[in-house]
Structure 1
Amino acid sequence: MSDPSQMILRRMGLCDYTQTWAQMRAFTDQRTSETPDQLWALQHPPVFTQGQAGKPEHLLAAGNIPVVQSDRGGQITYHGPGQLVMYVMVDLHRRGYGIRSLVTRIEGAIVTTLAGYGVTAYADPDAPGVYVDDAGGLPGRAKIGSLGLRVRRGCTFHGLALNVDMDMEPFLHINPCGYIGQRMTQLADLGCTRSVDDVATDLAAQLQHALGQPGKI
């Protein structure tokens, strides 16, 4: 019998966004109180995704990249090869904390993972995600990790996107996460040569620890 306290990591490779979204919904609808939580580590082919409250004016020019209206939180973002996407399927009732605590734990796991690569990063309680300062020698902050979640039946799906080594040009076609002028960066531009698979291993370990801790925030 499965241990519901476990958090299983699934490595899924390159996956179509719409198909993966359907799989997340199906998993959430079919799971029971005995279903172990899961982390899905994957990459997507190029796609822009709009959150539930996404405003169309934040899409500046889609070009030939498809745009998908999603049911996650947040505004518009971009996914593409070289970006680690980690979907977080957690039973909040069983874990004993709420969505704000989950977001804080995810952000903390990303910050800790990046610190292990010599990258100083931080979260902003007023703008979910993870940021670094003076990326590429430019003053000010740039975003390296984005979050967008959905809660259904007390369980979460969707999750985070961490830029590792990707084509960053499509971010210029949107106002990332709904912020005009928001600069984006990635690990490769910060001197980190880790692969997406390596980062998935390290981040999953941090998430399994952080999300497995009881208590409320």
Structure 2
Amino acid sequence: VFTQGQAGKAEHILLPGDIPVIQVDRGGQVTYHGPGQLVIYLLIDLTRRKLGVRNLVSAIEQAIVRTLAQGGIEAAPRSDAPGVYVNGAKIASLGLRVRRGCSFHGLALNVNMDMEPFSRINPCGYAGMSMCQVSDFEAGASVYDLERRLVSELVEGLGHCQVEQRQGW
């Protein structure tokens, strides 16, 4: 499925074909979600945790960077475009909404998936943005292993919090 955030523009959906386009109330532009991608929603009371939105985004990005480093992948965020990148290609996307001091939505980490649908859009509103996935750099990468590692890093980076896991697809 393609999800189009509140800032999304129709011209960034180039050739959706048979993939549904869903309007969602998160920030950001258009992205693709499919099997082999780890999606984590972070529902956090930012006021209670005394956490600002920029601090939350930074904590999420750094948790992803640390998770990827465990597999020998050197990654970094970019100041001009939220998310995490490896050699200039985006490996993880963020799409958040904050309402009444609470965060909604979260992140998508490309692990081991069909990357072709990203060529049908301008990912995150950037024409020609290169996308990559963990399996490009870490042989045998699985959503299950990345989930365990990333959840652990998120809990560490954001402080103790309740974790509830649900699986779909």
Residue 94 of structure 1, aligned match among 48, 59, 78: 48
How much does 1:198 deviate? 1.0
For CA contacts below 8 A with separation 6 or more, give which structure has more relative contact order. 2
Q: Which amino acid letter does the alignment assign opposite residue 25 of structure 2?
A: D
Residue 161 of structure 1, aligned match among 96, 105, 108: 108
Q: Is the 8 A contact 1:148 1:158 kept in 2?
A: yes
Q: Which amino acid letter does the alignment assign opposite residue 3 of structure 2?
A: T
Query: Within 2, Cα distance between the matches of 1:92 and 1:126?
Result: 23
Match of 1:117 in 2: 71
* 1:95-137: CA deviation from partner (whole Å, max 9, x where unpaired): 111111000000000000000000000001111000011xxxx
Q: Which amino acid letter does the alignment assign opposite residue 201 of structure 1?
A: R
Runs of 4+ in structure 1 over 2 Å off? none
Residue 142 of structure 1, aligned match among 89, 93, 99: 89
How much does 1:191 deviate? 3.0
Residue 176 of structure 1, aligned match among 120, 123, 127: 123
Q: How does 1:1-217 map to 2 (within 5 A)?
A: 47-133=1-87, 141-212=88-159
SS at match of 2:3: strand
Q: Which runs of 5+ in 2 are unaligned?
A: 161-169
How much does 1:152 deviate? 1.6
Match of 1:43 in 2: none
Query: Within 1, Cα distance between the matches of 2:107 and 2:122?
Result: 18
Q: Which runs of 5+ in 1 are unaligned?
A: 1-46, 134-140
Query: Within 2, Cα distance between the matches of 1:98 and 1:192?
Result: 36
TM-score, normalised by the number of residues in structure 1: 0.72
* 1:32-81: CA deviation from partner (whole Å, max 9, x where unpaired): xxxxxxxxxxxxxxx00001010110000110000001100000000000
Count, aligned residues = 160
TM-score, normalised by the number of residues in structure 2: 0.93
Greater C-alpha radius of gyration? 1
Percent sequence identity over matched residues?
A: 63
